[in-house]
Amino acid sequence: MKFKKLIVGITVLAALVVTGCSKQQKKAQPILTKTQVINKSQKSFKSGQVKQSLTLGTDTSAQVITADTGFGGTPTVFHINYQTQNKGKTQNAEEWVNMNNLYLNGQNTWYRTKLDDFSGHSYADMVDATVNNKLIFNPSTTLTNAYKMKRNKNTYTLTANISNQSLMKKAADPIWTTTGQSPQQEKAFQRIQKYGKYKNMTVKMVVKNKKLTNFQYFVNMKIGNSMKLRLGQVYSNFGSHDFLKVPETALNAKPLPKNNKSKK
């Protein structure tokens, strides 16, 4: 009899445990609509990583310029690693930007100068291109209507193929404006824009657990009969640089000699 009571007691206890577990199970999150996903993606972010790229070439050769940038802090600080590949040669440059102060690493020696004097673009241009990018925070109806959505549990992926000339130009402008490393390069970019024609653009956005985790877009142009150009901007690692600061090694930089300014 005692053995039977013990069995009954264990059975009741097991039932209570199962019941308790079932009560603790989280309710499944509701499936979001495309509009809701877009709204979730528009929550502001303080920091992250963005890689800008510009590839100019033909079917047989290409020149590639990339700017891999970590951004964050208050006010926003930018840590940029530039790379230029052309005819088998690669050039690298490291920079820090704090407001309109530019710090450059030249052969393990840091130099400082004014951002707009050296690069041809302003600090505000950089903030608008990255932290306040309009494709994320103020997307046009053309873009939102073009988005097609797929869902995998709590991960939503939106993709779009765009051929609207006005939208492609607006998407490319921040890349044109901030990728150049000198006023001379900025002028060269302006000439390319004058003679080039926008062909198409792809956009991809990933929202996971109601937060933006990846955003990227690429714009394709044709220049004349044989040259092509591809501009891109890829975001990732949101929240990874919230307390970014310019390191002391850069802050202790020497003034950049005048004859080196904007010489690239």
Decide: 178 and 67 in contact? Cβ < 8 Å. yes
d(CA 50, CA 178): 12
Buried b (16+ CB within 10 A) or exposed e, 16-52: eeeeeeeeeeeeeeeebeeeebbebbeeebbbbbbeb
Comparing CA positions, the residue from 35, 218, 28, 17 lying closest to residue 144 is 35
Residue 26's pLDDT is 62
> Would the pLDDT of 13 be above 50?
no
> Would the pLDDT of 261 be above 70?
no
> Would the pLDDT of 5 be above 70?
no
> Would the pLDDT of 95 be above 70?
yes
Residue 60's pLDDT is 76
> Would the pLDDT of 102 be above 80?
yes
> Would the pLDDT of 31 be above 70?
yes
Of 30 and 77, the structure prediction assigns the larger pLDDT to 77
**Dihedral (CA of 178, 179, 183, 185) sign:** negative
Over residues 123-138, the mean pLDDT reads: 95
Distance of CA 29 to the CA centre of its chain: 28
Domain 34-255 of CATH type 2.50.20 = yes
Residue 249 φ/ψ, nearest 5 degrees: -60, -35
pLDDT > 90 in the chain, percent: 68
> Would the pLDDT of 157 be above 50?
yes
pLDDT > 70 in the chain, percent: 88
Copy the structure tokens of residue 157.
Answer: 């992926």
Copy the structure tokens of residue 95.
Answer: 């920079």
Copy the structure tokens of residue 158.
Answer: 């939106």
Task: Map 31-88 to HEC letters.
Answer: CCCHHHHHHHHCCCCCCEEEEEEEEEECCCCEEEEEEEEEEECCCCEEEEEEEEEECC
The helix or strand, by DSSP H or E, that contains position 168, with its residue range, turns out to be: helix 165-179
Over residues 131-143, the mean pLDDT reads: 95
d(CA 186, CA 261): 14
Over residues 170-196, the mean pLDDT reads: 84
Q: Which residues pair with 90 in a beta bridge?
A: 85
pLDDT tens profile 33-81: 999 999 999 998 999 999 999 998 877 788 899 999 999 999 999 999 9
Q: What is the pTM (predicted TM-score) of this model? A: 0.84
